[in-house]
Amino acid sequence: MSVATLSGDLHGDHWQALRSLLPFYRAITTVHLGDGRTASFWMDAWAGDEALADSYLAPFSHCNKKDATIQEMLSDGLQQSFVPRLSSQVWDELALLQQALSGITLGPAPDKRITPFSKGDWGLDSGALYKLLKARGQLEDPRADFIWHNSAPPQVHLFM
């Protein structure tokens, strides 16, 4: 299973529900780069304040490996990940992207996600997130009863 995309041999409605929440999870977290194996190159915020897919729209639209991890993209090389014919705008943005990534090196430690909703090193403040979601009307989901009214721990409720 790829942590960056929740893809692989995963079946069931609960996995589909988790996949649908992945964009929200990415929106409230930032990745401190380690080995690059668990973070999405395009979708996670790791090289600035926003995801590369939002900063480099043209290259992202021409990429064949939209679900690749940082480690995969940096080890394979960016050039190997794009369609054969690129527009001049894509080449211009790709040059800027390569320049921005020129000083990036992967380390031996695992990637670490941080969030303003953290509770210590490994926990999420599920109460604060619940209040945020409720205030924004995000809890009006048909899966809400399944998620919030089961016997799972609060952190699992929030993640679902």
| Per-residue pLDDT in tens (0 to 9) along the chain, 160 residues | 345 555 566 666 777 777 777 887 888 889 999 999 999 999 999 988 899 999 999 999 999 999 999 999 998 888 889 998 899 999 999 999 999 998 899 999 999 888 888 777 667 777 777 777 777 665 566 666 666 667 777 666 566 5
Domains of the chain by residue range: 30-114
CA atoms within 13 A on the CB side of 85: 0
**What tokens were used for 66?**
């939209």
Q: Which two tokens stand for residue 152?
A: 């799972």
Question: What does residue 154 show for φ and ψ, rounded to 5 degrees?
Answer: -55, -40
- b/e map 6-37, b = 16+ CB within 10 Å: beeeeeeeeeeeeeebeeebbebbbbebbebe
